[in-house]
Homo-oligomer: A and B are copies of this chain.
Amino acid sequence: MEGKPGLRERKKQRTYAAISDAAITLFLEHGFNQVSVAQVAEAAEVSKRTLFAYFPTKEDLVVHRLADHETEAARVVRARAAGTAPLTALREHFLDGLRERDPITGLNDHPQVRRLHRMILDAPSLVARMERFKAGAEHALARALEETAGVPELTARLAAAQIVAVQWALAQDNAERLAHGESADGRHEGAVADAEHAFALLEYGLRGFAG
């Protein structure tokens, strides 16, 4: 098994890429809501019906590019070195992401990335789709915690919910600042400090709050 791809398979991949590329190009140029799926299909030289065979919804034309990230936190937890706490592994991974300007951390100011971010925020249906994405990440992380940290199901779910929420908030904050004109390099130091602060809150709790 796993010999050569075969013509049919290769063609499918090319079609997939053609549709995705046409979609991203058109969406970035004119805005998500301003471009119809029919136009995308035409630009990709494919029928509307075929487009929907590859991408179940219009939103997936954009979001499929993040699909890998949905299980990223879960993978990090599962792959952590023995003796490392899940939270430690996740913090290190997030800091790595900041260092590498991984778009998922919100700390990437390449024009393409920023325009994509803008596009998503301007389209409510895309924002909603991202929320679903977040829920998926939460679920995957909960399972990873439950299975590798020997913690009860509810605890795993509570922890996963908190962790994903925090990572998301950090990324949003970074992206917001870059949208306001800060550069990724200039923001890096602050982003690291904020991330450390956020993970400290997760580790040590919120009881420092003013009464």
Contacts and interface: CB of A to CB of B under 8 A. Distances in A.
B85 A209 contact: yes
A195 to B, nearest CB: 10
A157 B173 contact: yes
Nearest to A170: B158
Interface residues of A, number: 45
Interface stretch (A12-20, A93-101, A159-167, A178-186): A159-167
Interface in A107-142: 127-129, 131-132, 134-135, 138
A206 B203 contact: yes
Contacts of A163: 206
Interface in A177-211: 194, 197-198, 201-207, 209-211
A207 to B, nearest CB: 5
Contacts of A134: 131
Contact of A151 (B83, B165, B202, B209): B209
Contacts of A157: 169, 173
A64 B47 CA distance: 39
A155 B197 contact: yes
A139 to B, nearest CB: 11
A201 B201 CA distance: 11
A15 to B, nearest CB: 26
A87 interface: yes
A56 B126 CA distance: 18
